A and B are shown apart, each in its own frame.
Chain A
Amino acid sequence: MFAYCADPDSLEGLRWFACYLTTGKHMLFYQSFGFVIVLMLITAPIALGVGFAGALASRSHVAPLRWLGTGYTSLVRGVPDIAFFLFMPLALDQGLEWLRHKAKCPDWDGPIRQGSDFVVCAEAKLPLSSSPQWVHEYYGIVLGIAAFAFVFGAFAAFVLAGAMNAVPKAQMETAEAYGMTRRQATWRVLVPQMWIYALPGLSNLWMILIKATPLLFLLGIEDVVYWARELGGRKTSAYDYPHGDWRLWYFLGLLVFYLLLTRISEIGFARLARRLSRGQATLAGAEGARA
């Protein structure tokens, strides 16, 4: 980074730190913070979409759809998150490879499961083993996002179904009295009003999602926790910048990062709640009207 960093052994004090904190490895560490935020911004809308579909399904008048909706929410709510995190990416990956194997190599006669090996033909590998490393990394991240969206979608579905039930029944009856079909009443009356009831539950989920991001580490994705542990560990002279066990400081940095992130989210949600309360027949809405 700086010209004087060329010879790390000769550095002292502030200069040592300036060079140490700008190594290529530290840059990867700083990038991983942005990565966590981007990941949440991608995951949250997907999970909300999955949740919305799940909530509508669990309230559906079509029985199989309702079973699917309630089955999904109760299954995910009843199984530890971490089990899903380890299971989903593996199952998705092997499932997709199996499908591709069936489609691309129909004349392959060896078994796919050979002892503990999972063997598919080279063209069916996902990603192809010839693809560059970043494709493998993105693929892993997409699997991680899928796992997050699946788990958090179930919780969101439950929250949204509750919010739909909380919209005063009189509103729906009035809509039907005006001659709206059930579908019209749902989209024009129920959905616009349910968000204020869903907000406390959803904001809670968002907080849990923020705090769950270190689970990515378990999937082998190089996130903030991975780099904090890697950089903080005691370094011998095999490295350019030897130091003692500094994990405490790195993890303290993570603590501050997550606290900041949750605090900013809290402020954002408070504003959103004020906005959504306007004109609602709730306590907050009534206070807003008086002021």
Chain B
Amino acid sequence: MKTLMMTAAFALSAGMVTAESHSMTVRLGTEGAYPPFNIIDDNGEVAGFEREVGDELCARAELTCEWVTNDWDSIIPNLVSGNYDVIIAGMSITDERDEVIDFTQNYFPPATSSYLAMSEDADVEGGVVAGQTATIQAAHVAESGATLIEFATPDETIAAVQNGEADAVFADTDFLKPFVEESDGEFMFVGEPVQLGKGIGLGLRESDTELKEKFNAAISSMKEDGSLNELLVKYFGEDTQTYE
């Protein structure tokens, strides 16, 4: 029975492949654990700001897109080895990453990162600060003089503060904001927000120059007609930074 179903599904998909082969399929890799940028919603689907931006960019670039999730710490190696074609996972454009992969122009303006802690007097400069592995925030903490402990997922960094393992978390302000607002005073921001990175862009293999140009054009058109700004306001609130 099972083999029968599999054969049927396979025959069906074989038909789909031939029908689709003239329009290129692009696989978008995301983390699915970084609200409000990208999450896996309660139906098990990729959702969030980047889902909407990605779908719109694909429509404008006339590409057929498929969403794939991948752990953050192996997201660059798996792009390079061809498991998917684009990283769309709240990844800030930095020089270090640019040496390994290519970035499009940013679709999210350069933003601030903040410290989240459970008390006002948390020591963010000499204490223990949690960060997600291989993020610009983790790199910043490592240089700040605080002791850095790294976690594979953003969720674990918050849990570390709650368990008392770390004094604070350092992450994107937009990611931390809902935790502060919904915690009834348990979590709070401490210290000053820090400006990091050159904004968030799509990551591509260095050999994929044609695809990069298509996405760059699509991002420009979303910036020009204001649809990107609408999405920014929808997910990050009225007072978020938008494009001119």
Q: Are A230 and B33 within 8 A (Cβ)?
A: yes
Q: Is the CB of B25 within 8 A of A129?
A: yes
- Given A131-B17, A132-B16, check contact A239 B39 (CB 8 Å): yes
Interface class of chain A by DSSP: loop
Q: Which of A70-78, A113-121, A153-161, A184-192 contacts B (4 or more CB under 8 A)?
A: A113-121
Select which of B68, B81, B159 is within 8 A of A234 by beta carbon.
Answer: B159
Asked if A236 and B35 make an inter-chain contact with CB atoms under 8 angstroms apart, the answer reads yes
Is A239 within 8 A of B42, CB to CB?
yes
In the bound complex, CA of A285 to CA of B169 (Å): 63
In the bound complex, do residue B82 and residue A125 qualify as a contact, i.e. CB atoms below 8 Å apart? yes
Q: State how many residues of chain A have any CB contact under 8 Å with chain B.
A: 41
Interface residues of B in 84-104 (CB under 8 A from A): 85, 100
Distance (whole angstroms) from the CB of B182 to the closest CB of chain A: 6
Per the bound structure, the CA–CA distance linking A23 and B207 in Å amounts to 41
Are B100 and A116 interface neighbours, CB within 8 A? yes
Residues of A with C-beta under 8 A to B20: 130
- Report the contact-size class of chain B (Cβ under 8 Å from the partner): 35 or more
Is A136 part of the binding interface, using a Cβ–Cβ cutoff of 8 Å? yes
Q: CB distance B80 to A118 under 8 Å?
A: yes
Q: For B74, what are the chain A residues with a Cβ–Cβ distance below 8 Å?
A: 220
Contact between B25 and A238 (Cβ–Cβ < 8 Å)?
no
**CB < 8 Å neighbour of B159 from A27, A125, A242, A245:** A245
B178 at the interface (CB under 8 A from A): yes
Please tell me if B173 contacts chain A, counting CB pairs below 8 Å: no
How far is A220 from B159 in the complex, measured between Cα atoms in Å? 23
- Of residues 71 to 129 in B, which have CB atoms within 8 Å of A's CB atoms? 71, 74, 78, 80-83, 85, 100
The answer to whether B182 and A242 touch across the interface, beta carbons within 8 angstroms, is yes
User: Which residues in A have their C-beta under 8 angstroms from that of B21?
Assistant: 130
User: A239 CA to B41 CA in the complex, in Å?
Assistant: 6
B: which residues have CB within 8 A of A? 9, 13, 16-17, 20-21, 24-27, 32-33, 35-36, 39-45, 48, 66-71, 74, 78, 80-83, 85, 100, 153, 155-156, 158-159, 162, 178-179, 182, 205-207
Closest A-B pairs by Cβ, 4 of them: A24-B43, A233-B155, A238-B35, A236-B178
- Having A25-B43, A129-B25, A130-B24, one finds 20 other A-B pairs with CB under 8 Å, namely A24-B42, A25-B40, A114-B207, A125-B82, A128-B17, A129-B27, A129-B85, A130-B21, A132-B16, A134-B9, A135-B13, A220-B83, A229-B153, A233-B33, A236-B182, A237-B182, A238-B39, A239-B39, A241-B42, A245-B159
